[in-house]
């Protein structure tokens, strides 16, 4: 069974034209240790769309619900807390449902929670789009379910020029999907306003993250090792550990990784740690020293040294500047 690339049986474009004023429910499955930035961007997109739609017609279009196995307060990987509804108390409706599943370091434990898996099995048949975010795919796999992506983002007559068409071997970005849905439901002009108004994510010092599933020149073994490095930035890592994840000798792993990724595993790990520290500086109020330790950098002094080298600033100034921009 294909667990990744399935599309709705009917075109979202034709369905949307028949329900221009109906409510769309956006359910986002969360768990302790989920990664916040993409989830926050999706929420902001639909909330901004609601605000603009209400100004035009007096009606909102999207109802966003944050769900977790037990409900209540859930901690993101950067120690920002959000409030969620209990999946057991969540009842489906006849409205259109879109289902997002968060990714993050807590996904393995969450995938063993039958409450969440059972809820996904109940909601999946009634959800027009089922979109895992990064590691969220593991939750779907644990429940034995496929993803279901927006057909307008793939090859076909319905794909618009503003959104480059993808083949069925590629997984669309979750934020791009949200913006495409808004465009189809509410029009290109309003979608453009949403795109322009959504606050940009803080920029990482050096691009290092791999868009898993959309880089065919990178082998699955090297992708798995890169994903493992990003998931373990908070602890000491030996290159041999990453080589074992890729099932390669250390020498072959070093050669293949640099050839396929474009940098050494050590450089990739450093950039992943810096990227995580940038996110935590903006998303949390943790002291710089504690952020450094959680990112595997060791101390606030060492983090400051790296920030001056790669960003020509300090962690404190980076936090102040990016918080002021949000």
Per-residue model confidence as pLDDT tens digits over 221-242 = 888 888 888 878 878 888 888 8
Domains and CATH numbers, the chain: 12-197 (3.40.50.880), 220-325 (1.10.10.60)
Strand order in the sheet with 62-68: 72-75, 81-86, 62-68, 24-29, 96-101, 127-132
Residue from 127, 145, 128 nearest 136 by CA: 145
The closest alpha carbon to 48, from 183, 202, 203, belongs to: 183
Report, as an integer, the average pLDDT of 164-191: 76
pLDDT band per the 50, 70, 90 thresholds, residue 324: low
pLDDT of residue 168: 43
Which whole number is the average pLDDT over 294-301? Answer: 89
How many beta carbons lie within 10 A of that of residue 164, not counting itself?
A: 9
3-state SS, residue 34 = strand
Q: 263, exposed or middle or buried, with CB in 10 Å at 0-12, 13-18, 19+? A: middle
């Amino acid at each position: 069974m294909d667990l990744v690339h399935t599309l709705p049986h009917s075109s979202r474009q034709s369905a949307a034209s028949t329900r221009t004023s109906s409510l769309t429910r956006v359910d986002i499955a969360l768990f302790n240790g989920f990664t916040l930035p993409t989830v926050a961007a999706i929420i902001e997109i639909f909330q901004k769309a609601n605000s603009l739609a209400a100004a035009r017609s007096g009606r909102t279009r999207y109802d966003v619900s944050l769900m977790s196995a037990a409900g209540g307060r859930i901690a993101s990987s950067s120690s920002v807390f959000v409030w969620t509804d209990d999946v057991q108390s969540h009842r489906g409706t006849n409205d259109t449902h879109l289902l997002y599943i968060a990714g993050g370091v807590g996904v393995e434990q969450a995938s063993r929670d039958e409450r969440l898996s059972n809820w996904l099995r109940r909601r999946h048949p009634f959800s027009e789009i089922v979109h895992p975010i990064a590691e969220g795919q593991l939750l779907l796999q644990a429940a034995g379910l496929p993803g279901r992506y927006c057909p307008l983002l793939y090859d076909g007559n319905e794909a618009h020029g503003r959104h480059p068409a993808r083949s069925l071997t590629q997984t669309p970005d979750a934020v791009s999907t949200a913006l495409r849905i808004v465009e189809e439901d509410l029009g290109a002009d309003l979608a453009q306003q949403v795109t322009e108004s959504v606050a940009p994510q803080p920029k990482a010092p050096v691009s290092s993250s791999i868009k898993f599933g959309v880089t065919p020149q990178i082998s699955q073994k090297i992708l798995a090792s890169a994903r493992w490095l990003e998931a373990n930035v908070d602890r000491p890592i030996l290159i041999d550990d990453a080589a074992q994840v890729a099932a390669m000798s250390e020498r072959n792993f070093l050669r293949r990784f640099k050839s396929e990724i474009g940098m050494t595993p050590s450089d990739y790990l450093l950039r992943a740690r810096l990227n995580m520290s940038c996110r935590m500086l903006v998303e949390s109020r943790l002291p710089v020293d504690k952020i450094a330790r959680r990112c595997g950098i060791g101390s606030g002094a060492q983090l400051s040294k790296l920030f001056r080298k790669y960003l020509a600033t300090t962690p404190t100034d980076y936090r102040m500047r990016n918080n002021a921009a949000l």
